[in-house]
Amino acid sequence: MREERGLGAPEDPAWIGLRRGRGGPLSYAAFESQLRHLGAKVGVRVTAHMFRHALAQALVDTAGLKVAQEVLGHAHVSTTARSYARVDEAAMVRALEAARQVMDASEPRPRPDGEPGAAGFVFPYDADTLAELDAAADQQPTRR
- pLDDT for 18-44, tens place per residue? 766 567 788 888 889 889 999 999 999
Number of domains in the chain: 3
* Same domain for 101 and 77: no
Residues 135 and 93 in one domain: yes
Per-residue pLDDT tens over the stretch 99-112: 888 877 765 555 55
pTM: 0.49
CA atoms of 31 and 52, how far apart (whole Å): 13
Based on the fold, state whether residues 65 and 79 are members of the same structural domain. Answer: yes
Is residue 33 within 8 A of residue 19, CB to CB? The reply is: no
Structural domain harbouring 80: 50-86
Note whether 127 and 99 are same-domain residues: yes
107 is a domain residue: yes
Residue 144 lies inside a defined structural domain of this protein: no
